[in-house]
Structure 1
Amino acid sequence: MTQRVLFSAPYLLPVLESFRPMLEVAGLELVTANVVERLSESDLLPYAGQVDGVVCGDDQFSRRVLEAFAPRLKVVSKWGTGIDSIDRQAATELGIEVGSTPGAFSHPVGDTVLAFMLAFSRRLPWIDREMKAGRWEKIPGRALRECTLGVIGVGRCGREVLRRARSFGMRLLGNDIVPIPEEFVREVGVEMLPLASLLEQADFV
């Protein structure tokens, strides 16, 4: 039996066609939403009762929306990690599974954070601005190995940032509300500190 699935994750939609053959072999009929960033309640309600599953971004799956989609809707899966936009209590009451893809963006986030640290430590935005203005100013910068990084929230993304920063010789500090595995602490050499201490010592947070 074919299952209809609504795809509304905006950054997945541009590459969805490459997955279509595999998804159709699995018995899925793809329904795509016209979305720029996220779908509101009013954007979602026209799909109520029409789909068995949803692969979404940060769409507003409130109780009102979930109740309208039930009982046909069986699963809402976030293409990403945070599921704050999904009313999990309502989903549980309605028998709708809620999923996510933890770790899906950890490496890109790690790369992006490191890129920003390099840009700011070497003053690249300022150098770029001066060059575009026709000036060749030698603006001093700092090597990352001279800097201390403080990561607040040593989860999947935070760990990838720390792994990358370690290879640049940075001093690494971390803070989290939950215990971090000792093997990871040893792996990267991060010093776990109270938040106030981290903020006092870190050059980048």
Structure 2
Amino acid sequence: MQVELPRHRERLERLGYQVIAPDLGGRQQFTAAELLQFKSRLVGIIAGDDELSREFFEGASKLRTVIRWGIGMDSVDHEAAREHGVTVRNTPGVFGAEVADAAFGYILNLTRGYIAVDSAIRRGEWPKVEGVTLAGSRLGIVGFGAIGREVAKRGHGFGMDVIASDPFVRDAPVGVTMVDLDKLLATSRFIVLACPLTPETFHLINADRLALIRPDAYVVNVARGPVVLEADLIACLKSGRLAGAALDVFEVEPLPPDSELRTLPNVVLGAHNGSNTREGVERASAAAVDFLVEELTR
């Protein structure tokens, strides 16, 4: 959001608000204590994955609204927000296309070995990696919101058989069959996790669920890291019970230096950056400011 602030600052200042944009200093997010430095003046906030904990809401007594820049809401203590009369909104649907593009970038890297081939060519080698054809393969999508639906569109473009699982969705577009999660895991060659992180999806993919997955399958997580129990996934990948995985997100971010995931050849690693395109940032920032103004002028 901060990179887009010059486009929107004047609009907010015309409404009589002082706009504060503290420097992250190269970090990913602010702690509650750091945000509370501004508590005496804070009436509205556009937040990333910052720590919007009970401590934050109890200290920011003048706060009226939180706008989560992006989609995920797991960094917000919603109960504390409700108790203190703070409205919380996100910017739904703004990154569907971008994250779906990233999911298929990961799928192609897993199945065609582009990263490994690139490294080999730079070393003077000339490898011929046998890949996997996407057309005719089954694509299973866990979570069928804006991102999941965009993943389905791309799956159809590749000629894939598309199924999805989502307890809150009954009617799916033509060409997508809704199934229960166990059937999806057991029958899909490619599994894309695109669900929100909630108490119900925390460690949704664990040893029991991984045992259902066919050994030639690939798992792509563009949701949230804790949707997957990483220790169980690592064990599965090391034993050969899963062909490969691509992870844009992790249980702990940034990925710890000693994570075994760094050592596995059948894993593609990202940096929680699937939504980050110029167009997506512009779209999300404009929506966040629109929602902030709407809430502050009620």
Q: What TM-score range do you get, normalising by the shorter chain?
A: 0.7 to 0.9
Shift of 1:84: 2.0
TM-aligned CA deviation for residue 171 of structure 1: 1.0
- Partner residue of 2:7? 18
Structure 2 counterpart of 1:60: 51
What is the Cα deviation at residue 44 of structure 1? 1.6
1:202 corresponds to 2:168? no
- Aligned partners of 2:11, 2:156: CA distance in 1, in Å? 39
Where does residue 17 of structure 2 map in the other structure? 28
Deviation at 1:26, TM superposition (A): 4.1
* Partner residue in 2 for 1:158: 148
Quote the Cα distance in structure 1 between the aligned partners of 2:28 and 2:170. Answer: 33
RMSD: 1.6
The question of 1:192 aligning with 2:178 is answered: yes
Distance 2:123 2:170 in 1: 47
Cα distance change, pair 143–26 in 1 and its aligned pair in 2 (3 A): farther
SS in 1 for 2:170: coil
CA–CA separation in structure 1 for the residues paired with 2:163 and 2:19: 45
Give, in whole Å, the separation in 2 of the partners of 1:21 and 1:142: 52
Residue 46 (structure 1) aligns with: 37
Among 165, 169, 172, which residue is 2:162 paired with? 172
Q: Secondary structure, in 3 states, of the residue corresponding to 2:189?
A: coil
Native 8 Å contact 1:122 1:143 kept in 2: no
After superposition, the C-alpha distances for 1:42-94 in whole angstroms (9 at most, x for unaligned) are 21221112221000011112222112111x21111100122222222222222
Report whether the alignment pairs 1:110 with 2:100: yes
What secondary structure does 1:32 align onto? coil
Identical counterparts, % of pairs: 32
The answer to whether the aligner puts 1:76 opposite 2:66 as a matched pair is yes
Find the aligned partners of 1:29 and 1:141 in 2 and give their Cα distance.
Answer: 55
Are 2:89 and 1:99 aligned? yes
Is 1:137–2:127 an aligned residue pair? yes
**Matched residue of 2:19: which SS?**
strand
What is the CA–CA distance in structure 1 between the aligned matches of 2:57 and 2:43, rounded to whole Å?
12
Q: For 1:21 and 1:15, how far apart are their aligned partners in 2?
A: 12
Q: Give the Å deviation of 1:38.
A: 1.2
TM-score between the two structures when normalised by the length of structure 2? 0.60
Q: CA 1:28/1:123 → structure 2, altered by over 3 Å: closer, same or farther? A: same
C-alpha offsets along residues 70-124 of structure 1, whole Å, 9 cap, x if unaligned? 1x21111100122222222222222211111111221110110011112222221
Instruction: Quote the Cα distance in structure 2 between the aligned partners of 1:78 and 1:136.
Output: 47
Deviation per CA, 1:127-163: give whole Å up to 9, x if none.
1122122111111112321422111111111111111
1:15 deviates by 2.2
TM (norm. structure 1) is 0.85
**Residues 144 and 169 of structure 2 are in contact (CA less than 8 Å); yes or no, is this contact kept in structure 1?**
no
Three-state SS of the structure 1 residue aligned to 2:139 is strand
Q: Measure the CA separation in 2 of the matches of 1:139 and 1:62.
A: 48
- The one-letter code sitting in structure 1 at the alignment partner of 2:91 is T
Report how many aligned residue pairs link the two structures: 189
What is the CA–CA distance in structure 2 between the aligned matches of 1:174 and 1:50, rounded to whole Å? 45
Letter in 2 for 1:157: I
2:165–2:179 Cα contact (<8 Å) kept: yes
Cα distance in structure 1, aligned partners of 2:150 and 2:17: 34
Structure 1 counterpart of 2:20, which letter?
V
TM-superposition CA deviations, 1:6-49 (whole Å, max 9, x none): xxxxxx11222122233333443210022221111221221112
